[in-house]
Chain A
Amino acid sequence: MHVPDGFIDAPVSIAAGAVAVAGIGIALRGARRELDDRTAPLAGLTAAFVFAAQMLNFPVAAGTSGHLLGGTLAAILVGPYTGVLCVSVVLLMQALLFADGGLTALGVNITTMALVTVLAGYGLFRLLLRMLPKTRASVAAASFVAALVSVPAAAAAFTVIYAAGGTADVSIGKVATAMIGVHVLIGIGEALITAATVSSVLAVRPDLVYGARGLMKPLELRVAARKADGPAEPSRA
């Protein structure tokens, strides 16, 4: 998915870079609202988490494996603005340190994998939550659908960029079919992991799932009532 140099021509790469800069600018302002002065350490550790989670390969089909992209997952867990920042920083570091994804294609990569993924994934997630009953199952279902759609959405965004500035003479129809087809498959893996991860975090620290804030009651400490006089009842557990 990381686009290398030379795949998209120079003018469109620069235009995508401008879109990425604008998107990150908005995300910076929003992230300060989400996390105030905790932004740097928390977004940094979440970026490290996304980076590590991308190393986790899961089997897709017939011996091939895919890895998590993590845009929707990060957005649901820490909020859309912080999510965009985390994924963008991961992409920036991958391009600078690991030569994964070209430097001139950084704008394209951030636009498709950070901006479009989070926008499509998180937008759909909130929309679904508004319509579904407020239970843990519907949070899991909403994150499943959101992650499932977000990956082909990124592929579709790439196809649009390719149509504007692709350097190879492959028809748009073929690129769209191949890209979106493959990414629907990847999206299924992404969706399964995202939904299961969100619900496992929701079970332990519901307060940490940004996307489900206000939906879940905070966990409360329950203390067994003592009788007014006499020793405490022996526990039956």
Chain B
Amino acid sequence: MSEADEVARVAAGLPPYAVSLGIGVERIEAGAPLLTLDFAEKVHGRPGFLHGGAIGGLLEMAAIAALRMALAERGAVPRLKPVNMTVEFLRGGTDRRTYALGRVTRAGRRIANVSAEAWQDDPARPIATAWMNVLLSGA
């Protein structure tokens, strides 16, 4: 599958929440979809800054998208149930585009451990990181 096809496939699979929040798919990077979220009133938290909930939602979508892609490569399409998630907020997100990329630390038979990072100008200066455990069922 070409990268453009892969990007279109990931975008088509985003849930209603991701679409209404304004999450987009930029490209495939390091084997995972690079997601974007543009600054808008609907993601605004304290004055001038991104809301932590919007950052958390973006990180979760990036983690799940990375996991789906990794599982698809091994021919598995289980249902994914998030078990838990921790978000660490490192810097305030300001009024510009935010990027997020997930990384599968380990995908076992029943549980996957996935992390994600979000940044704005510089990937080396993340604004937030997250990890989550996801239950894989019906695989």
A and B found bound together: no
Question: Taking beta carbons and an 8 Å cutoff, which residues of A are in contact with B?
Answer: none
> Using a CB–CB distance below 8 Å, which chain B residues touch chain A?
none
